[in-house]
């Protein structure tokens, strides 16, 4: 017996033969092409679609090419990373998704559904240097991740309204509305390039740096002020020579010999190891900056739990 189903898309019909293992059936082949199309449209990636369907990536590519040939027009634009559906593909997906999902479910196959996307926020420097490299294997295994970089207060605001699932925050949120836990104590060090000629010493005084340019994250020099107060025991009154709201940019400027700056050790581990930067004021009691993992209210989901565990394992090795 043959079942014929006509979708809402004009001129498109699927024939399905009950034996799901009959790969030689033209009707099942047609259905397979459109399931692959829907998976590619929902995931935005050939490799992700292959994982969703349990197919080889080359098979997915071949099926999409066959479908585009039969349609007589491209359905996806191939990008350096992923694929982007055309307007025609968007139209087809909107019409086919419901009927196709219902059909494959009716015959015992699993509907093609997009994995939930986990929305992670944090400082750009920490995301780039620690979080994303640590999460890369999970992404390759199917984790769907959307990352937002920004200031802690802004990200916590997005978390409160449900726009994010998890935030790596340098600010502990007030109240008890958001579940929060300490995550990492960043150790802050005063560094410069050897070319500046500053002799590293645990006895280095602040006045020895009077003629050396300061590299700051912001005009009010919050990180430098904190270091001067904690280590030197005085208030920093000087204006910075360079302001760059990205710690990676400050590190690059310091390596190039622009001046002295204060940075977290995890961010400049390579530069310290190979001598491009040196700690000019050793101290047994460096200032620290605590980072927190803050998640949205509600039950702890599997995806958030996996990301939390992965990030904690990554910082344990710093």
Q: What is the pLDDT of residue 1?
A: 33
Q: Which pTM value belongs to this model?
A: 0.63
DSSP 38-69: HHHHHHS-HHHHHHHHT--HHHHHHHHHHHHH
| Closest C-alpha among 57, 58, 86 to residue 73 | 86
- Angle at which helices 132-140 and 302-315 cross, to 10°: 140
Q: Which residue has the tokens 């240097």?
A: 129
User: Looking at residue 246, what is its pLDDT?
Assistant: 94
* pLDDT, tens digit, 9 for 90 and up, residues 34-71: 888 888 888 787 877 877 777 788 888 999 999 999 88
Rounded alpha-carbon distances, angstroms, from residue 16 to 4, 21, 37, 57, 108? 7, 12, 17, 24, 12
Residue-level pLDDT at 78: 87
Largest CA-CA distance found in the chain, in angstroms, rounded:
91
What's the pLDDT score for residue 104? 67
Give the pLDDT confidence of 168-188 residue by residue, as tens digits: 999 999 888 899 999 999 999
Query: To which residue do tokens 């959307």 refer?
Result: 146
Instruction: Report how far residue 26's alpha carbon sits from residue 269's, in angstroms, rounded to the nearest whole number.
Output: 59
Query: How far apart, in whole angstroms, are the C-alpha atoms of residue 138 and residue 147?
Result: 14
* pLDDT at residue 8, as a whole number: 37
The pLDDT value recorded for residue 116 is 64
Place of tokens 């087809």: 92
What pLDDT score does 53 carry?
Answer: 77
Q: Which domains does the chain have, with CATH numbers?
A: 3-106 (1.10.10.10), 117-179+296-315 (3.40.190.10), 185-287 (3.40.190.10)
State the Cα torsion 293-175-124-264 to the nearest 10°: -70
CB 37 within 8 A of CB 75: yes
Give pLDDT, residue 7.
Answer: 39
For residue 173, what are the contacts with CB-CB under 8 A and spacing of at least 6? 156, 180, 292, 294
Tokens found for residue 233: 């025991």
CB 216 within 8 A of CB 224: yes
The span from the first CA to the last CA of the chain, in angstroms, equals 63
Six token digits for residue 259: 């001046």
Rounding to the nearest 10 degrees, give the CA dihedral for residues 205, 207, 212, 213.
100
Low-confidence ranges of the chain (pLDDT < 50): 1-29
Burial class (CB in 10 A: 0-12, 13-18, 19+), 31: buried
């Amino acid at each position: 017996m043959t079942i014929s189903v006509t979708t809402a898309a004009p001129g498109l019909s699927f024939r399905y033969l009950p034996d799901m293992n009959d790969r030689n059936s033209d009707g099942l082949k047609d259905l397979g092409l459109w399931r692959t199309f829907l998976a590619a449209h929902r995931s935005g990636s050939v490799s992700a679609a292959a994982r969703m369907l349990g197919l080889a990536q080359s098979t997915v590519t071949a099926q999409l090419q066959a479908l585009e040939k039969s349609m007589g027009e491209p359905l996806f634009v191939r990008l350096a990373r992923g694929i982007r559906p055309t307007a025609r593909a968007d139209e087809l997906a909107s019409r086919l998704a419901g009927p196709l999902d219902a059909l494959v479910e009716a015959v015992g196959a699993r509907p093609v559904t997009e994995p939930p996307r986990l929305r992670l926020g944090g400082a750009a420097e920490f995301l780039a240097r620690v979080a994303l490299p640590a999460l890369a294997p999970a992404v390759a295994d199917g984790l769907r991740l959307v990352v937002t970089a920004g200031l802690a207060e802004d990200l916590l605001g997005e978390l409160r309204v449900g726009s994010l699932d998890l935030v790596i925050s340098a600010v502990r949120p007030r109240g008890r509305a958001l579940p929060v836990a300490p995550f990492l104590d960043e150790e802050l060090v005063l560094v410069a390039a050897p070319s500046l000629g500053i002799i590293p010493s645990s006895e280095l005084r602040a006045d020895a740096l009077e003629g050396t340019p300061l590299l700051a994250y912001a005009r009010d020099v919050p990180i430098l002020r904190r270091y001067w107060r904690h280590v030197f025991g005085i208030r920093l009154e000087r204006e910075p020579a360079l302001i760059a709201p990205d710690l990676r940019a400050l590190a690059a400027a310091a390596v190039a010999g622009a001046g002295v700056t204060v940075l977290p050790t995890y961010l400049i581990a390579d530069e310290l190891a190979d001598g491009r930067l040196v700690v000019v004021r050793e101290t047994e009691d460096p200032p620290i900056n605590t980072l927190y993992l803050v998640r949205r209210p509600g039950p702890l989901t599997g995806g958030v739990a996996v990301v939390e565990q992965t990030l904690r394992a990554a910082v344990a090795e710093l």
